[in-house]
Amino acid sequence: MWNLHKCKNIFIDFDGVIVDSNKFKEKAIEKSILKLFGNNKKSKEAVNYFNANAGISRKEKLSKFYNEKNVLEIIKIYSNECDNFFSTATPTEGLVSFLEYIQLTNKNIKVYILSGGEKNEINLFLKQNNLLQFFEDILSSEQSKLDHMKEKKVSENDIFIGDSKNDLKTSLQSRINFILFEGYKSLESFPSKTFIKKNNLIRTENFRTLLDTFIK
């Protein structure tokens, strides 16, 4: 495990890491698209692409298949589903203990949420669970994850905790440490075994198992 004293920033993905929402979102986008356009080849392709590319903004993914008007119609239905879900969702196992540990032992580390999701949905979840005080900022869909990383001028000692192939790609492009979160993964967007093996990743089930690794 890396030396946390050299780390300045920790970036944590939201869906499937901070909250167990991957399966919900996969069903919600399917429901939203089929409600408007029915069960056809284009709908299936759009749903599959959406779910296979976790970490990219919903608008960008949907725009590959639909015009702007239709994208906004889908997003309206999908966002309402997400708002209802996040208003009652709770954090994944060990998250609070992990954040408290970082705050107590490494006060100079800035912790960010880095997500392809919408800021208002993430903010709602954090408020509902009294977590806002742990995070420096919510870096969300207004930019790509890579662009957010560039703006923060990340270094090789920084850490990104994510659960998708796109998260892993972002960490490789940014040249920072990556921890693969597995306990709440989506089979649609999870990195392949070959990709994982090639990059010799640190893997963890949840924040409790990750905290055990840091404390050792």
Instruction: Say if CB 140 and CB 82 are below 8 A apart.
Output: no
From first to last of its 216 residues, what are the pLDDT tens digits of the chain? Answer: 567 888 999 999 999 999 999 999 999 999 999 999 999 999 999 999 999 999 999 999 999 999 999 999 999 999 999 999 999 999 999 999 999 999 999 989 999 999 999 999 999 999 999 999 999 999 999 999 999 999 999 999 999 999 999 999 999 999 999 999 999 999 999 999 999 888 878 899 999 999 988 776
Residues whose CB is less than 8 angstroms from the CB of residue 167 and which lie 6 or more positions away in sequence, other chains included: 13, 54, 55, 145, 160, 178
Distance separating alpha carbons of residues 31 and 72, to the nearest angstrom: 15
pLDDT one-digit tens code per residue, 158-188: 999 999 999 999 999 999 999 999 999 999 9
Q: What is the pLDDT of residue 36?
A: 97
Q: What is the pLDDT of residue 202?
A: 87
Please provide residue 154's backbone torsions phi and psi, each rounded to the nearest 5 degrees: -65, 155
Q: For the chain, give the longest Cα–Cα distance.
A: 53
Q: What is the pLDDT of residue 1?
A: 55
Q: What is the pLDDT of residue 216?
A: 65
C-alpha closest to that of 60 among 15, 116, 107, 99: 116
Q: Which amino acid is at 65?
A: F
Torsion angle, CA of 125/183/27/47, rounded to 10 degrees? 110
Cβ atoms within 10 A of the Cβ of 69, count? 7
Instruction: Say if CB 187 and CB 16 are below 8 A apart.
Output: no
Angle in degrees, CA 52, 57, 61, rounded to 5: 55
Distance separating alpha carbons of residues 62 and 37, to the nearest angstrom: 13
Distance separating alpha carbons of residues 47 and 169, to the nearest angstrom: 22
Residue 26 half-sphere exposure toward CB, CA atoms < 13 A: 17
Q: What is the pLDDT of residue 56?
A: 93
